[in-house]
Amino acid sequence: MCGIAGFISLDGPRDRPWLTHLGTTLTTAMAHRGESAAAPYVSADGTVMLACVRLAVRDRSAAGDQPMASPDGRVVLVHNGEVYGSRSPAPPPWPTRTSCDTEFILQQVSRADDPATVLRPLDGMFALAWHDNHSGRTVLARDHFGIKPLVYTYTDGGVLFASEPGALLSTGLVAAETDPEEFVLRAWVRMDAADDRTWLRGVRALQPAEYLVLDPPHARTHRYWLPEPEDTPVTAEEIRAAFDASVSRASVSDVPRAAVLSGGVDSSAVLAGLRAADVPAHPYVLRYQDGIGGSGDDVEHAQVVARRLGLPMTVCELDRETAAELVPALPQRLMRPLLHGAELAMHRLYQKVAENGQVVVYSGHGADEMWGYQDGRYFPVVDPAAPTHVHGRHYLTHHLHPDERPAWARLVEWLAQGLDVDMAAVREQVWERVMGEYRALDTLDPVKRGRLHLMRRFLVYVNDMVDATSSTFTLEDRPVFQDVTLAELAFRCPEHLKNTGEPGSHKELLKSALTDLLPTSVLRRSKQGFPSPTDTGYRRRLLDLADAHGRPFGLPPLPPGLREELGVGEWMFLASSAAWLEHLGTLRTGHTASAAGAIPLGAGIGAAP
């Protein structure tokens, strides 16, 4: 894991010292993402700056530092994540100088005129930016699943990008603001990444399997991969072979390794797969005070797995007071309010991993989205013969979210009313924007459509959360199940084969592929979400926090009936929203007060290179 950033002018050269200062500002804001930062690269014509803060995981020598240039200086690359190889590699255009994946990627992009031909077969997780000095073209790209983030904005006559929204804000070129309607929309859909917009006004997120081509003055986005929906039987043996290959690819590391262990099928299989391949990884499991939120059950099952594998295990404890203290603090890293509570658990787990000196962390994120969730609570069953433009529209816009969380829905409707936001318009945006991926596959199968939505919306939300919390402690999380071959098998497989249909069944086909890796107790365990605190004492603490910070946007107090109805999740959202908006206000005030030290808008326009 690293942090990448840069600026591409769309209207002419900039002052080179200004570009260098901008790059240093960006990498300083992302210092937690790596151990060191080399000097930013500035193109000879003064139109492009690329910068990187590096976490050296493979080939820790200075030869792997970034930005990295081809031997002839034609192509310059910055790279965040890990690329394990390519399913269709081009011959290397020069003798390999390092053993790090950055050079491998540089060799691949140096050989291709069409970025899609390079990006589509890559195995791994990545956010990339490369500049070709001969053509003047710059390309930004994100991996197939959105494991590694990449955000950007159009400002000052160019494109400013980084691995984190906070880095963009640190420059003073981006306003620390949120749009009330966008705030309500994202709160309404809750745990989905609602397309390429973000919680910050004007800041965009490059989508999974997309790349942005910058040919000044033009900028265009393209999608380079979409799984093919088929109905061809997939065997447990095929799944197992792909899983083992993914574990093998992800095992490369020159630094100590850990694993997140919940005692569920996915994380347990990843740890067992690593153990079978003789890859050392120390497991960690989280338990809230008194085991609330189901975390005590997680520890019990995780202990069974660790004992079976002969591994010592670390239990990370999180008490109510520490969890409450994180509620107003974490939004500054996430650049959004808290939406679930898993953010607290992930933050504490990664903190403990970092304290013990591990750097690479393995996890099971993504298995549910590919192989589970067939029971109808997640995918609305609609008429498969209905035209695409009306396919489940009323249910998806009006019922899906409020049916799942009625108190949450009433809270968001109260927010919309107070902010003078039209909820009817928000619901239409849910269909047009958020549910766009539900209609993207060329199939009438509602479950396959829903699976793509999960992969491109909910899973991206999870990936962004994982990246923000792990990078806080300079860690790299590797989700083994987010593998292109495994995903293509999942979309090829008829959905009815994934489950037996028995009550409580979940991911039965996947379990059959992983049976020998897992204890019987784990195989039979019911599906359980990532734990979050739920007890009444924690609710009271959050209520006090929300009252102390006031209502988001300075709204009046909640009606008494709604106030009593809200649970832990709603109060956590209110408290963290108010704290996050206060933080944005502080950033705006800070940039105004220190304008002399900030990078002024337009400072580099028209300057000689």
- Binding-site annotation, residues: 101, 363-364
Taking the alpha carbons at both ends of the chain, their separation in whole angstroms is: 32
| Integer Cα distance of 555 and 535 in angstroms | 27
Q: Tell me which amino acid residue 412 is.
A: V
| Integer Cα distance of 533 and 595 in angstroms | 42
| Integer Cα distance of 123 and 225 in angstroms | 13
Q: Which of 2, 100, 316, 493 is catalytic?
A: 2
Tell me the binding residues for ATP. Answer: 363-364
Q: Is 2 a catalytic residue?
A: yes
| Integer Cα distance of 248 and 180 in angstroms | 46
Tell me the binding residues for L-glutamine. Answer: 101
Q: Helix 568-593 to helix 406-418 angle, to the nearest 10 degrees?
A: 40
CA-based R_g, the chain, Å: 24
Q: In Å, how far are 265, 363, 467, 498, 524 from 513, measured between CA atoms?
A: 11, 18, 29, 11, 14
Q: Is the dihedral of CA 397, 493, 276, 85 positive or negative?
A: negative
Phi, psi of 39 (to 5 degrees): -65, 145
358, with CB counted inside 10 A (0-12, 13-18, 19+), is buried
Q: Tell me which amino acid residue 161 is.
A: F
Residue 603 and residue 18 in contact, taking contact as beta carbons nearer than 8 Å? yes
Q: Among all residues, which ones are annotated catalytic? A: 2
